[in-house]
Structure 1
Amino acid sequence: MPDYKKMYLTLFRATEQAINTLIAAQQECEELYMEAPQRELIALPQNQDTEEK
């Protein structure tokens, strides 16, 4: 008979590791975003022809 408790705990641990890996990757990406140099936004002039249509 399969050991369901062992199977459950194995799956639970693997799931927890996967979630922690994803959280760490997200936090790393957030840090990279925050550390990136800020770029200046440029407002482009509106084209009068497209507004009339």
Structure 2
Amino acid sequence: MHREAEPAPGNTQVIVGIGLNNSKKFIAIMIAAVLILVGVNLGVADLIHKILVG
């Protein structure tokens, strides 16, 4: 895996900046993906599903 020279926090800020510039949906997808991964790992996928479905 090729890693950028920039530290993780910097990369995160760049990703968020791109998301803000392009669309909030970009960030929503990123957050949703993280929540789904965490939710499945913690066994609360049901809660994540409720949040995503509204």
TM class, shorter-length: 0.3 to 0.5
Larger helix proportion of the pair: 2
Normalised TM-score (structure 2): 0.37
TM score, norm. by length of structure 1: 0.38
Larger Rg: 1
Structure number with the bigger relative contact order (C-alpha 8 A, sep ≥ 6) is 2
